[in-house]
């Protein structure tokens, strides 16, 4: 089978809380399903506040408790070329969706979506930013991200992979 690599980019504001968590959760799902040769996963931020930094310690701790290691990730800023490289550019909230929309080159708008649209049963459109809250906020975000990641993987299977 000569399958084109499917690329997924998760985006939040600083790329240290929500999007690295989504990258870690989705990567784990992809590996568990044996799809890592077919799906590439990354994350980025719409702002350059934390470029080069690892994910927030609270995000790393939450993920680690759930069997996911975020320690190798480093924050980067999203760029217009990401829309050409990635098939899915997934914003964590409306503010980041707007910021990404302003970066998006003409003809690539269909790649930009809200991540939580892949978990419609939760009836929540945005992943809240846990940065200024306590550790419990990171737990809530992880649970939301896990649900949306499962929905995303099902959508990719249906839309791009057929019966794989």
CB neighbourhood size of 128 (10 A): 15
What's the mean pLDDT in 131-146? Answer: 94
What does the pLDDT average to over 68-73?
97
pLDDT (tens digit, 9 = 90+) per residue, 93-109? Answer: 999 999 999 999 999 99
Domain assignment present for 149? yes
What span, in angstroms and rounded, lies between the C-alpha atoms of 150 and 25? 9
| Residue 12 bears catalytic tag | yes
Rounded distance, CA 73 to CA 23, Å?
9
Count the residues in the chain. 164
Catalytic choice (11, 18, 60, 146): 18
Cα separation, 116 vs 94, in Å, equals: 11
Q: Is 18 a catalytic residue?
A: yes
Q: Which CATH number fits the domain that encloses residue 147?
A: 3.40.50.2300
User: What's the helix, strand, coil split of the chain in %, to 5?
Assistant: 45, 15, 40
Is residue 87 over pLDDT 70? yes
Q: The pTM is what?
A: 0.96
How much is the pLDDT for 116? Answer: 98
Could you tell me if 70 and 21 are in contact, meaning their C-beta atoms sit under 8 angstroms apart?
yes
Which DSSP symbol is given to 113?
Answer: E
| Domain presence at residue 1 | no
The rounded radius of gyration (Å) of the Cα atoms in the chain is: 15
- Does position 1 have pLDDT exceeding 50, yes or no? no
Burial label for 141, CB within 10 Å (0-12, 13-18, 19+), is buried
Please give the tally of structural domains in the chain: 1
Position 96 scores a pLDDT of 98
91 domain residue, yes or no: yes
Query: For residue 77, what are the domain limits?
Result: 6-161
pLDDT score of 161 more than 50? yes
* The pLDDT value given to residue 162: 83
Please state, in angstroms and rounded to a whole number, the distance separating the CA atoms of residues 76 and 49.
9
Catalytic residue among 42, 56, 129, 146: 129
Which residue in the list 11, 12, 17, 104 is annotated as catalytic? 12
Give 46's pLDDT tier (boundaries 50, 70, 90).
Answer: very high
Contact at 8 Å (CB) between 10 and 116? no
Tokens, residue 133: 């809250």
- 11 is annotated as an active-site residue: no
Q: Is the pLDDT of residue 50 over 70?
A: yes
């Amino acid at each position: 089978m000569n399958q084109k690599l499917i690329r997924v980019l998760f985006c939040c504001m600083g790329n240290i809380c929500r999007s690295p968590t989504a990258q870690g959760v989705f990567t784990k799902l992809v590996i568990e399903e044996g799809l890592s040769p077919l799906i590439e996963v990354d994350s980025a931020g719409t702002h350059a506040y934390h470029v080069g930094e690892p994910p927030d310690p609270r995000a790393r701790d939450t993920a680690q408790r759930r069997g996911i290691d975020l320690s190798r990730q480093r924050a980067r800023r999203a760029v217009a070329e990401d829309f050409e490289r990635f098939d899915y550019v997934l914003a964590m909230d409306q503010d980041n969706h707007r910021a990404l929309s302003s970066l998006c080159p003409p003809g690539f708008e269909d790649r930009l979506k809200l991540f939580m649209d892949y978990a419609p049963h939760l009836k929540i459109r945005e992943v809240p930013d846990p940065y200024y809250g306590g550790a419990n906020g990171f737990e809530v975000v992880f649970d939301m991200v896990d649900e949306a990641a499962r929905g995303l993987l099902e959508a990719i299977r249906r839309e791009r992979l057929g019966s794989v």
